[in-house]
Amino acid sequence: MQILYDNKDFIKDSKKFVKHLAVIMDGNGRWAEQRGLPRWKGHEMGVHAVRRLIEAAGHFRIPVVSVFAFSSENWKRPEREVRLLFSLFRRYFLSERKNLLRNGIRISVFGRRDRIPEFVREAVTTLENETRKCSRLHLRIALDYGSRHEIVEAVHSLVRDVVSRKIMPEQITEELFSESLSTADIADPDLIIRTAGEHRLSNFLLWQAAYSELYFCPKFWPDFSEFDLEKALADFQSRTRRFGALVASNIYQSDNRDASSEAV
């Protein structure tokens, strides 16, 4: 693969360096329907797109990638499709083992573990343990994940700490709240990509996305290629990230700057 963009060029500029990429993979079903194929074929091709994404993310030196594989709302899909998706995930976890170890890819899953089928839970736990020491790239897979549920769980845990007088309510800060989330061990995503032309976060990493850059790609997930990733990364690097502050050029302007120069 020819590399036109390299994340490592920006390693010293933390605002331009994608340390954590999150992806909402959307459009498997529509990809299949457009071709007169059953929906499962779209999901199957979606797995190939995940492989391509990981390979490309490795080339671009992105250390952490989170993908939204199954949302808490996805349980509302027909039972057959849900069963098929979990079989596909299990097959991926089993068949990808050697490849992941060889390429130094760590796998971890986030989301509720109590509702996913036992045969998937087992495969996940084994793979998580086996790849724990891999350090080239960390692939985080959201399975039965919903951001609102994660936030409510964090509230429960903090309330318990207050009731048991471990902390005072005033001690609850944004930092402590972040630390109470199930994703606490990972920095917030710098860039979130969503495919299939939809412009929503759909309950994915809502708290963590406060300052993420969003990128929407019209292609369906099975068609998403390394070049699409490259385009998204180049777009990311052309943006000015302000994190709520003023842009550098505005900081030195006189006091008569108008409200429109205030960053958001």
Q: Which residues bind ligand FPP (CB under 6 A)?
A: 25-30, 43, 46-47, 50, 67, 69, 74, 85, 88-89, 92, 141, 221
How far apart are CB 205 and ligand FPP at their closest, in Å?
15
Tokens of 50: 């995940």
* Closest CB to ligand FPP among residues 84, 246: 84
| 18 vs 67, beta carbon nearer ligand FPP | 67
Residue number with the smallest Cβ distance to ligand FPP:
29
Q: Out of 6, 7, 9, 26, which one is annotated catalytic?
A: 26
* Annotation marks residue 255 as catalytic: no
Find, among 1, 21, 2, the residue nearest to 237 by Cα: 21
- Taking the least distance from each CB to ligand FPP, the nearer of 44 and 153 is 44
Smallest separation (angstroms) from ligand FPP to the CB of 52: 11
Nearer to ligand FPP, 67 or 191 (CB): 67
| 26 is an active site residue | yes
Helix segments in the chain, DSSP class H: 28-34, 39-59, 79-95, 97-102, 118-130, 147-163, 174-179, 226-237, 248-251
Instruction: Specify which residues 64 forms β-bridges with.
Output: 20, 138
Contact residues for 210 (Cβ-Cβ < 8 A; gap 6+)? 188
Residue 119: DSSP 8-state: H
Rounded least distance, CB 231 to ligand FPP, Å: 20
**Measured between alpha carbons, how far is residue 85 from residues 78, 114, 195 in Å?**
11, 17, 19
Beta strands 191-194; 213-216: pairing state: parallel
Catalytic residue among 9, 28, 74, 190: 74
Nearest CA-CA partner of 3 in 233, 234, 230, 215: 230
Shortest Cβ 30–ligand FPP spacing (Å): 3
Which is closer to ligand FPP, CB of 24 or CB of 154? 24
Residue 43's contacts (CB-CB under 8 Å, 6 or more residues apart) are 28, 29, 32, 84, 85, 88
Q: In DSSP terms, which residues pair with 20 in a beta bridge?
A: 64
Catalytic residue positions, numbered: 26, 74
